[in-house]
Structure 1
Amino acid sequence: MHTIDLLGLLLYFAILLYIGYRSAKKTSSSADFAVAGNKIIWPVLFATLAASFLGGGASMGRAGKAFDEGYAFMFAASAFPIATILAGLFIAPRLKRYSGAQTVGDIMAHHYGRSARLLTGVFSLIFCIGILGAQALAIGTVFNAIMGIEISTGILIGMAVVLIYSTAGGMWAVIQTDVVQFVMLAVFLPITMIVGLDKIGGPEALIAALPSEHFSIMGDYSPLMFASIFIAFLLGETLVPPYTQRALSAPDSRHAKIGYSLAGGFGLLFYAISSTIGLIALVLYPQIAPDQAMPELIRDALPLGLTGLVLASLLAVVMSTADSYLNSAAVIFVADIYKPFINPAMSGKQQLWIERGVNLAIGLGAVIFALYATSIIDALLLSYALWAPTILLPFVFAVMFKIRCKRAGVAAMLAGALTTSVWKWSGLELEALTGLTPLIAGVAANIVVFVLVYRLMNVAPEQNGDTPISHSTHS
């Protein structure tokens, strides 16, 4: 990498650290650390959400899949931005009914009790660390492809920066850095696609250079495989803790609705850009590994001076997701596990410092996870299996229909977790025998058990409108 490009990258890191330093002065309470004081208006909410979920999977992972399989994976994975739009329209506004809520566990505890809070905290924590590990792996991949640095070293460098600013400034720092990172990815990744298209002779040349299957909706996928991927992305990351925290950070339901919905729409556009970059890389560098598609195009095709800025934007994409999951994991551990079950008498100041300490510890755990993950997308799909079959559907039922039934919520979460684990790790090859993935089998068990137990308990939905949450009374 040229010195000019390296200086651009170092400047980007310096900006992130400065934001963390400034944000630390504004973070004086746990509410500041967790939900930025509930002051995030919709344009900022849109930018931080878009930056958060367009991480290593949506950028390098999507480009790598397009490199390998064409646009088919993009069409299947578009289920996630579609789910985000729907969540923005129908669920995000309702989350603002829960005055004082900071986590998914707060809402689950209100509807399903203390045991549901604990289970939600444990499953959410494992999920967040898994996604964070995938982003850490993506950071190392970028450094390796662009600068020739060992992936493990790149992970340590990138995650060190994330750890510093997110630990110091909490959600204030995460959101402010996300806005910077969103602007960078929204400008520079489309530039990368345009430069790459020009290098191969334009869109017509791209179409002519590749088999027609690379541009079809299903490609080489069977209908069952396409449906499995679609469902995995429809449910796997919908309303996960960092995104729910963003909605809870909004001042009211209107800001939550607009910001969340717009972020989903932007995701559809971004998926098309990152997948097209993967196809361009396939034409130019057919011998490289799929996950190297986007970094290789940035390193080779862009002119001097722009490479460092686009590298920074690519790191921005990944780091913006990493910081979101890191912050969320720390808040979950303290709010849903440590405070209600270990030290309920701790003060607000103690809670803030414990959240900062846990933030550091979880970041180190994610780095270890990243060193063992074999693929960015594989790491994401493994983590998805921990969310949808356990928490998502009881959470949606609670928010949409105001259901309050402790036994139904807890039983459904346990049934989903058990079924998913048996399907994936029992060695019985149940996926091959039934055609159902662990995620789909777990979701099915979750729904069936929830409905059966709820009907047996014959519980009516709650009738009240606003749902205030107190961390002292509901924990």
Structure 2
Amino acid sequence: MGGLDWALLGCYFALLVVIGVQTSRKIKSSDDFAVAGNRIIWPVFFGSFAAAFLGGGASIGNAGATFRDGYVYMFAFSAFAVQTVLIGIFVAPRLKRYLGAHTVGDVMEHHYGRASRLVTGLLSLGLCAGILGAQALAVGTVVNATVGLPIVPSIVVGMAVVVAYSTFGGAWAVIQTDMVQFVFLGVFLPVTLLLALGDVGGPTRLVEALPEAHLSLGGTWSLAAFASLFVAFLLGEVLVPPYAQRTFSATDARAARKGFVLTGFFAAAFFFITATIGLTALVLFPGIEPDQALTTVVMKLVPAGIVGLVVAALLSVVMSTASSYLNSIAVIFVKDIYQPFVKPDLGARERLWWERALSLVVGVAATLFAISAPSIVDALLYAYAMWAPTIVIPLLAAVLFGSRSRAAALSSIGAGVVVTVLWIWLYQEQTGVDGLVVGAGANLVVFALVALFTRNRIGAGVRPAVEEA
């Protein structure tokens, strides 16, 4: 990169830190830190949610996997967009009924009791830490490929900025920086695709140069492998803590619905852009590692003076997601575990201190996880296995149908954990079917059966944690 590129990239990092420091003055309470005071209108909700939703998996991971397998991976990955639209239409508006809620644990306790809050909190922490680790790995990949630092220092440098502004400004800083990052990714990654297509010789030349399987619906995958990955992506991030938290921050149900639906359609277009960049990299630079596809195109093809902005766009995609998960981990620990089970009389100022301190500690832990993860997509799939086979079905049953069967919720979570672990250990490699899918099926069956047989005792002993409007 040239001097101008370095200056632009430096200005970008400085802007994020300044936003975090200035926003810290707005943080007067835990409500401000966790859900930005419930004052996010729908255009801001859409922009910030899209930036948080489209992380390292949607950019670097999608480009790399499409480089390796073709558009079939993008078709499977598009399950995220489908899920987001469906959640926006049917579920997100209903979450606004839970007045005062900050976390998924608030909703689960309202329907299933205190034990479900604790279990949800622990699983939420595992999920968020895993996804945060994947984003940290993606940050390191971008910095390594563009600046030339070794991968470990690259992860440390990139995550240091994320931790700084997230710790200072909480949800307010995360949402404001997400809006800046939304503009970067919405402008400069499409520009990168146009430049790459020009270097290949246009769309027609790209199609001619690619293996036929890379352009087909099924590629070289079996139907079972495609269906397994599609379902894994469909369920893997359903109402994960940062998305639920973002929903609670919206002004009303209408804002939540619009934000989710628009994000789903925007995501589908974004997936196509990053996947196609991956295919141009296959034609132009066939010998590179798949996870280097996107960054290689940027560094080799983007003109000097624009490289710094495009690198900032790549970093913005990843850092926006990382900051959202970092903020959620701090809020989850305090709201779902520490305050209800360790120190019920936790004061407002002390609670805010804990949330900020945890942002720092968890950022360090996620950095260590990223250093050991084999790839971005692998790290994501590891994390999803903690959520889809455990919390998704009881949560949807609660929000959509008002279920209050505590026995069904807890037994289905346990069944999901056991079946997922055993399948991954014994059968996943042999069958090619992801343990997440089998575990989610077991979770659904057990929940339905136990809810049916305990229907006369539903709600016994449950005490609402939040008021339902």
TM-score > 0.5, shorter chain as reference? yes
Compared with structure 1, are the counterparts of its residues 96 and 468 closer, same or farther at alpha carbon in structure 2 (3 Å cutoff)?
farther
Compared with structure 1, are the counterparts of its residues 159 and 63 closer, same or farther at alpha carbon in structure 2 (3 Å cutoff)?
same
Aligned twin of 1:299:
299
- Distance in 2, matches of 1:413 and 1:31, equals 29
Alpha-carbon offset, residue 138 of structure 1: 0.5
Aligned twin of 2:438:
441
The AA in structure 2 aligned to 1:359 is S
The AA in structure 1 aligned to 2:258 is I
Measured against aligned partners, the alpha-carbon deviations of 1:418-442 in whole angstroms (never above 9, x if no partner) come to 11112223xxx22356664210111
- Distance in 1, matches of 2:407 and 2:343, equals 26
Aligned twin of 1:287:
287
Aligned twin of 2:117:
117
- Distance in 2, matches of 1:303 and 1:52, equals 28
Measured against aligned partners, the alpha-carbon deviations of 1:291-330 in whole angstroms (never above 9, x if no partner) come to 0000000001011110010000000000000000000111
The AA in structure 2 aligned to 1:397 is A
Alpha-carbon offset, residue 239 of structure 1: 1.0
Aligned twin of 1:452:
449
Aligned twin of 2:29:
29
**Number of equivalences:** 464
Any conservation in 1 of the 2:109–2:117 contact (CA below 8 Å)?
yes
Any conservation in 1 of the 2:106–2:465 contact (CA below 8 Å)?
no
Structure 2 residue runs of 5 or longer lacking an equivalent are none
Aligned twin of 1:324:
324
Alpha-carbon offset, residue 191 of structure 1: 0.3
- Distance in 2, matches of 1:449 and 1:180, equals 44
Measured against aligned partners, the alpha-carbon deviations of 1:48-68 in whole angstroms (never above 9, x if no partner) come to 111011110000000001110
* Structure 1 residue 400 corresponds to structure 2 residue 395: no
Any conservation in 2 of the 1:403–1:460 contact (CA below 8 Å)?
no
Any conservation in 1 of the 2:104–2:241 contact (CA below 8 Å)?
yes
- Distance in 2, matches of 1:433 and 1:81, equals 29
Measured against aligned partners, the alpha-carbon deviations of 1:55-88 in whole angstroms (never above 9, x if no partner) come to 1000000000111011000001111110000000
- Distance in 2, matches of 1:159 and 1:297, equals 23
Measured against aligned partners, the alpha-carbon deviations of 1:198-217 in whole angstroms (never above 9, x if no partner) come to 01111011011112211111
- Distance in 2, matches of 1:285 and 1:47, equals 33
Aligned twin of 1:183:
183
* Structure 1 residue 11 corresponds to structure 2 residue 11: yes
Any conservation in 1 of the 2:225–2:433 contact (CA below 8 Å)?
no
Compared with structure 1, are the counterparts of its residues 127 and 376 closer, same or farther at alpha carbon in structure 2 (3 Å cutoff)?
same
- Distance in 2, matches of 1:385 and 1:68, equals 23
- Distance in 2, matches of 1:7 and 1:434, equals 51
Alpha-carbon offset, residue 460 of structure 1: 8.1
- Distance in 2, matches of 1:270 and 1:290, equals 18
Any conservation in 2 of the 1:35–1:246 contact (CA below 8 Å)?
yes
Aligned twin of 1:225:
225
SS at match of 2:220: coil
Compared with structure 1, are the counterparts of its residues 131 and 18 closer, same or farther at alpha carbon in structure 2 (3 Å cutoff)?
same
Alpha-carbon offset, residue 456 of structure 1: 1.2
Any conservation in 2 of the 1:402–1:461 contact (CA below 8 Å)?
no
SS at match of 1:304: coil
Any conservation in 2 of the 1:9–1:308 contact (CA below 8 Å)?
yes
Aligned twin of 1:48:
48
The AA in structure 2 aligned to 1:240 is V
Any conservation in 2 of the 1:54–1:267 contact (CA below 8 Å)?
yes
- Distance in 1, matches of 2:127 and 2:295, equals 27
- Distance in 2, matches of 1:435 and 1:36, equals 42
The AA in structure 2 aligned to 1:448 is V
Alpha-carbon offset, residue 459 of structure 1: 4.3
- Distance in 1, matches of 2:193 and 2:378, equals 25
The AA in structure 2 aligned to 1:438 is G
Aligned twin of 1:66:
66
Alpha-carbon offset, residue 7 of structure 1: 0.8
SS at match of 2:99: coil
Compared with structure 1, are the counterparts of its residues 449 and 250 closer, same or farther at alpha carbon in structure 2 (3 Å cutoff)?
same
Alpha-carbon offset, residue 19 of structure 1: 0.5
Alpha-carbon offset, residue 148 of structure 1: 1.1
The AA in structure 2 aligned to 1:407 is A
Any conservation in 1 of the 2:94–2:253 contact (CA below 8 Å)?
yes
Aligned twin of 1:387:
387
The AA in structure 2 aligned to 1:405 is S
- Distance in 2, matches of 1:274 and 1:406, equals 43
Q: Which 4+ runs in 1 deviate beyond 4 A?
A: 432-435, 459-462
Aligned twin of 1:194:
194
Aligned twin of 1:254:
254
- Distance in 2, matches of 1:278 and 1:119, equals 39
Any conservation in 1 of the 2:229–2:434 contact (CA below 8 Å)?
no
29-38 vs 408-417, which moves further: 408-417
Measured against aligned partners, the alpha-carbon deviations of 1:163-222 in whole angstroms (never above 9, x if no partner) come to 010001000000000000000000000000000000111101101111221111111111
The AA in structure 1 aligned to 2:186 is A
The AA in structure 1 aligned to 2:135 is Q
Aligned twin of 1:277:
277
Question: 1:336-375, aligned counterparts within 5 Å?
Answer: 336-375=336-375
Measured against aligned partners, the alpha-carbon deviations of 1:208-264 in whole angstroms (never above 9, x if no partner) come to 111221111111111101100100000011211101111111111011101111001
Aligned twin of 1:205:
205
Compared with structure 1, are the counterparts of its residues 223 and 248 closer, same or farther at alpha carbon in structure 2 (3 Å cutoff)?
same
What TM-score results when the alignment is normalised by the length of structure 2? Answer: 0.97
Compared with structure 1, are the counterparts of its residues 459 and 242 closer, same or farther at alpha carbon in structure 2 (3 Å cutoff)?
farther
Question: 1:135-214, aligned counterparts within 5 Å?
Answer: 135-214=135-214
- Distance in 2, matches of 1:213 and 1:374, equals 26
448-457 vs 107-116, which moves further: 448-457
* Structure 1 residue 410 corresponds to structure 2 residue 410: yes
Alpha-carbon offset, residue 22 of structure 1: 1.2
